[in-house]
């Protein structure tokens, strides 16, 4: 029974990581209100896929958490932290990926006469997205550093995955200190692809450890 559990959760991590990569490839760049309306279908599809991937990833992290349980039960702390991060990612996707395009499309035929009202609303939506992105970034870093520390100490997985997680966190810290903007599309893609690589690797190792 335990073997089946680790197998299903490892597959969830692998699938979730692949869905994240596909989402970021599809994710369009921002722009004017007219441009958002024009590509609203692409925005909706990309963010719907992101929302769909989140519970799959969370289930995968649950299996990873159980697999890495130590005497301090710190992997449970990491799981709680990553849950907060995935929840903030869901809120950001719902607000900017589903709600905003749906709202703007209602005024697509009367855009000129409502532009003065729509611009502040659009700016407010983008402003909400920034702190939600930072919550996601910080919680991912915290969770990964906890998981990586457990891996390096307990040696339940190969050490390289622990070092990879540590490198991603250190890279993020250096990026912040040097003024790299992680909430821009390019910055968010760099961070998300890094996280996806760690999740994918962890899923593969979890699957192998099941054997």
DSSP secondary structure string for all residues of 10-77: HHHHHHHHHHHHHHHHHPPP---HHHHHHTHHHHHHHHHHHHHHHHHHHHHHHHHHHHT--TT-HHHH
Predicted local confidence at residue 161, as pLDDT:
96
* Per-position pLDDT tens, the chain of length 211: 578 889 999 999 999 999 999 998 887 766 677 878 888 888 889 899 999 999 999 999 999 999 999 888 999 999 999 999 999 999 999 998 899 888 888 877 777 777 788 888 888 888 888 899 999 999 999 999 999 999 999 988 999 999 999 999 999 999 988 888 887 878 888 999 999 999 999 999 999 986 6
Give the SS3 label for residue 142.
helix
Q: How many domains would you assign to the chain?
A: 1
Distance of alpha carbon 61 from alpha carbon 102, whole angstroms: 32
pTM beyond 0.85, yes or no: yes
- Number of helices and strands in the chain (H, E): 8, 0
Range of the domain at 103: 2-210
Of residues 68, 65, 97, the one with CA closest to residue 82: 65
Of residues 23, 28, 26, 77, the one with CA closest to residue 54: 23
Q: Do 170 and 194 touch, CB atoms closer than 8 A?
A: no
Predicted local confidence at residue 1, as pLDDT:
59
Q: Is the dihedral of CA 182, 186, 188, 192 positive or negative?
A: negative
Predicted local confidence at residue 94, as pLDDT:
93
Of residues 166, 6, 150, 9, the one with CA closest to residue 78: 150
């Amino acid at each position: 029974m335990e073997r089946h559990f680790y197998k299903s959760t490892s597959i969830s991590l692998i699938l979730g990581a692949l869905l994240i990569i596909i989402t970021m490839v599809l994710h369009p760049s921002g722009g004017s209100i007219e441009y958002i309306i024009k590509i609203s279908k692409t925005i909706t599809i990309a963010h719907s896929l992101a929302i769909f991937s989140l519970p799959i990833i969370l289930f995968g992290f649950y299996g990873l958490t159980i697999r890495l349980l130590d005497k301090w039960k710190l992997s449970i702390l990491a799981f709680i932290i990553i849950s907060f991060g995935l929840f903030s990612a869901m809120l950001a996707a719902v607000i900017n990926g589903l709600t905003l395009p749906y709202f703007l499309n209602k005024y697509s035929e009367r855009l000129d006469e409502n532009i003065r009202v729509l611009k502040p609303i659009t700016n407010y939506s983008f402003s909400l997205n920034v702190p939600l992105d930072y919550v996601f970034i910080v919680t991912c870093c915290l969770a990964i550093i906890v998981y990586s520390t457990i891996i390096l100490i307990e040696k339940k997985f190969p050490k390289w995955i622990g070092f990879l997680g540590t490198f991603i966190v250190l890279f993020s810290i250096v990026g912040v200190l040097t003024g790299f903007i992680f909430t821009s599309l390019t910055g968010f893609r760099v961070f998300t692809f890094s996280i996806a690589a760690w999740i994918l690797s962890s899923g593969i190792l979890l699957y192998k450890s099941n054997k």
